[in-house]
Each structure stands twice: as C-alpha cells, then as structure tokens.
C-alpha cells in the first residue's frame, strides 16, 4: 500500500492515508478503493452534489 501511495506526485493533492477501521467519513467522499494495477475507484454522496474524479497519468 505505502509503495503505491509513493507513486503519486506531491502536486496531485494532499497525502493519501488509509483510514483506521471505524473512522467516520469526512466530506462527501464515501470510499476510495485501490483496485488491481493501482487503479483508484471512488464513490461520492450524490445528495451533497458530490462527485468522484480521477485522471490517468
């Protein structure tokens, strides 16, 4: 996991960290999953007009 996170440039955004089990959700991002090959899949709460965006490098 940590090796995968180091592949993201610091300009991409704030440092990604894994939440501890039982952690509350913050904002409208409900989940971000690391799929095979390092693909990130995210979901967001549509009731808050949220969206999950990404880009391929």
Q: Would you state the pLDDT for residue 48? A: 67
pTM over the 0.85 mark: no
Q: Would you state the pLDDT for residue 3? A: 66
Mean pLDDT along residues 4-33: 65
Query: Whole-number mean pLDDT of the chain?
Result: 67
pLDDT over 60 at 1, yes or no = no
d(CA 13, CA 25): 18
Q: Residue 47 to residues 5, 25, 28, 35: CA-CA distances in angstroms?
A: 29, 15, 9, 25
pLDDT over 60 at 12, yes or no = no
């Amino acid at each position: 996991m940590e090796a995968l996170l180091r592949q993201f440039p610091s300009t991409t955004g704030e440092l990604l960290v894994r939440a501890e089990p039982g952690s509350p959700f913050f904002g409208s991002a409900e989940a971000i999953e690391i799929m095979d090959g390092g693909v990130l899949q995210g979901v967001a709460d549509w009731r808050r007009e949220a969206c999950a965006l990404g880009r391929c490098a």
